[in-house]
Amino acid sequence: DKNGPWWAWNWLKLGEHSGTHFDAPQHWITGKDYPDGATDTIPAQNFVGPVNVIDCSVEAAEDHDFLLTVDHIKAWEAKHGAINPGEWVVMRTDWYKRNGSEAEFLNANETGPHTPGPTAEAIQFLISKDIKGWGSETIGTDAGKAGGMEPPFPAHTLMHKANRYGLASLCNLDQLPPKGAILIAAPLK
């Protein structure tokens, strides 16, 4: 207009674990020694890939401590096809619908948080399939009771030890097909 150009300039300041976020291997002690394990050293092509969406929303609604097992994954593959090397795997629970309330999202009581996630064996199985990364709709990539598992926090411990990635607090997985979508997971710079 006659006053000259105009633009908006805003600042964004937040913690790296705010909302949907990317976990690089160096985020966890078991992945600390990978030279390509930080968000600024990961090859850019690793942020993009096919995604497999394992729907556990019914199970998670019935049992907030639901654990995804190898048998669940194999049953999903029998129905939808193999999980291939270089692909992402995410666990749909519809947990993101709770993110308007901290209490509902964390779902914690005196015994700790109660949120769904994978077993250590499920994570090992996915690593053996050479997946690119694992994601969930909860606050972290592990189940709420993962601190008491062996190893503790298996999604973090095992995935990052294998130089794989994590995605946490995902939303809208109910809008994706079981197979066929492409995931773009570029972290904040």
What does the alpha-carbon distance between residue 189 and residue 186 come to, in Å, rounded to a whole number?
9
pLDDT score, position 178: 99
Let me know if residue 5 belongs to a domain.
no
Segment 136-151 mean pLDDT: 97
Question: And the tokens for 86?
Answer: 């270089």
Say what the pTM is: 0.92
Higher pLDDT, 188 or 25: 25
Let me know if residue 15 belongs to a domain.
no
| Residue 189 pLDDT grade (very low, low, confident, very high; cuts 50, 70, 90) | low
SS3 63: coil
Let me know if residue 113 belongs to a domain.
yes
Let me know if residue 136 belongs to a domain.
yes
| Residue 152 pLDDT grade (very low, low, confident, very high; cuts 50, 70, 90) | very high
pLDDT score, position 25: 95
What does the alpha-carbon distance between residue 1 and residue 24 come to, in Å, rounded to a whole number?
46
Structurally, the chain folds into a number of domains equal to 1
Which residues 6+ apart lie within 8 Å of 25 measured at CB? 31, 32, 34, 37, 38, 159, 160, 161, 163, 164, 165
Beta carbons of 139 and 103 less than 8 angstroms apart: no
Q: What is the pLDDT of residues 22-62, one digit of tens each?
A: 999 999 999 999 999 999 999 999 999 999 999 999 999 99
Let me know if residue 6 belongs to a domain.
no
- The rounded percent of the chain whose pLDDT value lies above 90 is 86
What does the alpha-carbon distance between residue 94 and residue 149 come to, in Å, rounded to a whole number?
23
Which residues 6+ apart lie within 8 Å of 49 measured at CB? 86, 87, 88, 132, 182, 183
Asked whether residue 181 carries a pLDDT value surpassing 90, the answer given is: yes
> Which secondary-structure segment (H or E) carries 88?
strand 88-92
Let me know if residue 7 belongs to a domain.
no
Strand partners, 22: 167
Q: Is residue 27 annotated as a catalytic residue, yes or no? A: yes
| Residue 11 pLDDT grade (very low, low, confident, very high; cuts 50, 70, 90) | confident
Catalytic one of 17, 21, 27, 64: 27
SS3 131: coil
**Per this entry, what is the length of the chain?**
189
- Judged on CB neighbours under 10 Å (0-12, 13-18, 19+), 150 is exposed
Let me know if residue 102 belongs to a domain.
yes
Q: Which domain holds residue 94?
A: 21-184
Asked whether residue 15 carries a pLDDT value surpassing 80, the answer given is: no
Let me know if residue 114 belongs to a domain.
yes
CATH number where 50 lies: 3.50.30.50
Q: What is the pLDDT of residues 73-109, one digit of tens each?
A: 999 999 999 999 999 999 999 999 999 999 999 999 9
